[in-house]
Every structure is written in structure tokens, then in C-alpha cells.
Amino acid sequence: MDLQTIKQRFNIVGNSLELNRAIDVARQVAPTDLSVLITGESGVGKEVFSQIIHQYSNRKHGLYMAVNCGAIPEGTIDSELFGHEKGSFTGAQEMRKGYFEAAHNGTVFLDEVADLPLATQVRLLRVLESGEFLKVGSSQTQKTNVRVVAATNVNLLQSIQTGQFREDLYYRLNTVPIHIPPLRERRDDIYLLFRKFAVDFADRFRMPSVLLSESAQRLLEDYYWPGNIRQLKNVAEQLSVLEKSRRISAETLAHYLPEQAVVNLPTLYRPKSSDAGFASERDLMYKILFDLRQDMNDLKQVVHGLVHGAIVPPTNVTVVPSVDPKSASYSPHFPAAATEDITDTATDETLSIHAKAAELIHKALERHHGKRKLAAKELGISERTLYRRIKEYGLDESEWKEQ
């Protein structure tokens, strides 16, 4: 049972090291009864690996049941998995076997296991640990001999941190982990997969297979493929059916690739349900704290200036020059609240400091022809602070012609 034989049997195309490693792990763990957790993005083909594990196990003659946990409503998922007794709830007109009872001595594949409700996770943990379960509406414990293979495209460790997934269940499922690499990490396999899909669709629709130009092939391999193999298969099918020409150019192929996914950028994680609102609130709090820290730094500069005579005016003081700052009669005006805690002996000194600061800003801007970036660098302050000080002092920017 070599890798090539497995690939041919399950129609797996590709030769990347990560893919071969995943197949090899599935092959080694298949004869055991260990639980397996398959991880990978949506569309990478996780269910194929669960079938490999089942077909090469001692349970291959038993029932294989694939369950999409995300497609079953929360109110009925316990009944689907573990069964129910007659009359246990409205509509339960007869006793029903669940997947774990029906698949005795077989394999149950739980796809999107992260979508299981917490109460159902407790029931599943008991099955994994002791093979026991209770039907809905029953008090009689039943036994089952089922191998569980689970899969998810969610980071379960993050779900544990947010309280959406049980940590003990994670470690029970993750006895043997298998990670399926996304398509963008298998660049050399992309064109091989496209050719296979194109030939398959040509046979199905009884038409010549589509061919890609060299530029189209490069575009195909450079694309991010957020939908992975499923998306690539859809593109090959669309080209086979919709394009009259069997020779596909890069311009034609680009019409079938969503523009928003072309750029390879990291995706911002958005927690589910109410956590999304919390994320935006948290970002807002970070911004407020950042601005508060900036204001505190400005205040420290003001205190330092008052003590050591540094020319650093406070940011919360509005200064309106009555005449040209270069004139000796320049007289800035302060709001009363800004000076109510300053003694009479310090008031004249403070006023002269701010007048001198305005004059220095004026000279720096004049020297650099209104270029704020250069003027701010010479003054030793940020460009943002310089802009704020210009507005606070009411300086006339029309005097400097920015080049």
C-alpha cells in the first residue's frame, strides 16, 4: 500500500511534501482505533482523508457515516447523533436510532466539529471515553463501538479560549492530528489539478478539453485560491462550459477569479456572534488609550518646559495672535481655565514661552518653504503635533508657499 496506489484509488492529485505527509499519516493510523482530527481550510478535501482512514482500517466492512455538524439545527443534533425515544419531544412519533448506534463497528466522520453545541460536546466526550451514550428521552445507557474521525476549518485552540469548544474534548479528538495544506501552499500541484478537472469535464460534456496559455497558467498558479480545490474545480467547470474557445488566455481566466482575493493578504479573525461587537469595542478602547497616552506625553513636556524653560506649549491652550508673530507687540491670548492655577509671577514667563514657540514654528516653516515634515524634524516634534500647534496658535499658512 504505497502513496501512489492511495492517490489513484481516491483521485488525489499532487506531489507536495505536505500532502504526501498527510497521506502517509492517514495510512499509518488507519489500522488503529485512535481518534483523528483533520484540520485545514474549507475546500482542501478533508473528507477524502477520513475515507482513506476508514477504507484501510479493520472497520472497512462496517458502516461509514459522514455528518456535517454545521448543517444540523442545534435543537435536533442530539437526536441525530444519539437517537431518541418515542414521545421524547414533540414530533417524536417513534423510536429512532442515531448515527452512533447505526454505525456500530464502523466509522463516524464529524465534519465541522467546532459547530457542535457545548451540551452535545459533553455527550460526544462520553462516547469517546467509554463508548456509552443516552438517547434523547431515555435513562438507559447504551454502548457503541465506533471510531470517530473529526474535521474542522476552525482554530480550535482559539475556540477554547473564547469558551466555544471544550478543551478536554479537543485533546480527546486530537489523538492523531492530520493537517491538509491549502492550495496556495501547493503551487506545483495547481496546474495538475486544473488539467485533471478540465479533462474530466470534457469527458462528461463531450467536448474538447480547455487549454491554458503560458500567461494564464502563471496567473492560475499565482492566485491565492481562498476556496482551495473546490474553487479551482468550479473555475475549470465554468471555463469548460462557458468559453467557446478552447484556448484560454490570462485575460479570459482573470474574469473567473474574484478580484478581492487576488492579493495575498492575511485575514483578520472575526469571532462569532456577540464577539464581533466586542472586537470593535476593543479596537475603540485601544485607540482611546493611545490618544490618552499621547496627551499625557504632551502634558509631561509642558511641565518640563515650565520647570526647565523648554519651549513646549500645552496642547489644550488656544492662542490667538493679535498681530504678526514676528512683531514685538505680539500678544497671545489664553482662556482663563488654562492659567487659573498658575501664579502671577509665572504667568508672564509662560506667556513669553508660548510667544517664542509660535515664533520658532513660524521661522521653521518659513525656512523650509512651508514643508511641514522638514520643519517638524528641525523643531524635534512630529508632523501631526506641528499641524496641531499651527491651528492652536492661529498661524496663517498662506504666508508660506509649499513647494
Q: Give me the domain span that covers residue 254.
A: 184-261
Are 136 and 249 in the same domain? no
Are 116 and 47 in the same domain? yes
Report how far apart the first and last C-alpha atoms of the chain are (Å, whole number).
74
Are 339 and 351 in the same domain? yes
Are 38 and 125 in the same domain? yes
Alpha carbon distance 98, 81 (integer Å): 5
Q: Which of 181, 205, 236 delimits the end of a domain?
A: 181
Q: Around Cβ 384, how many Cβ atoms within 10 Å?
A: 11
Q: Residue 93 — pLDDT band, cuts 50, 70, 90? A: confident
**What are the residue ranges of helices labelled H in 75-227?**
77-82, 99-102, 118-130, 156-161, 167-173, 187-205, 214-222
Are 47 and 142 in the same domain? yes
- Tens digits of residue pLDDT in 136-159: 988 889 999 999 999 999 999 999
Looking at the 3D structure of the chain, how many domains does it have? Answer: 3
Look up the pTM and report it.
0.64
Are 41 and 166 in the same domain? yes
- Tens digits of residue pLDDT in 40-92: 999 999 999 999 999 999 999 999 999 999 999 988 999 999 998 887 877 77
- Residues 120, 77 contacting (CB under 8 angstroms): yes
Are 173 and 192 in the same domain? no
Are 224 and 341 in the same domain? no
Hey, what long-range contacts does 126-132 have (CB within 8 A, 24 or more apart)?
A: 127/100, 128/35, 128/169, 128/172, 128/173, 129/172
CATH number at residue 54: 3.40.50.300
The pLDDT value given to residue 58: 94
| 268 located within any domain | no
Are 240 and 318 in the same domain? no
- Tens digits of residue pLDDT in 71-84: 999 889 999 999 98
Alpha carbon distance 48, 166 (integer Å): 26
Are 100 and 174 in the same domain? yes
Are 125 and 213 in the same domain? no
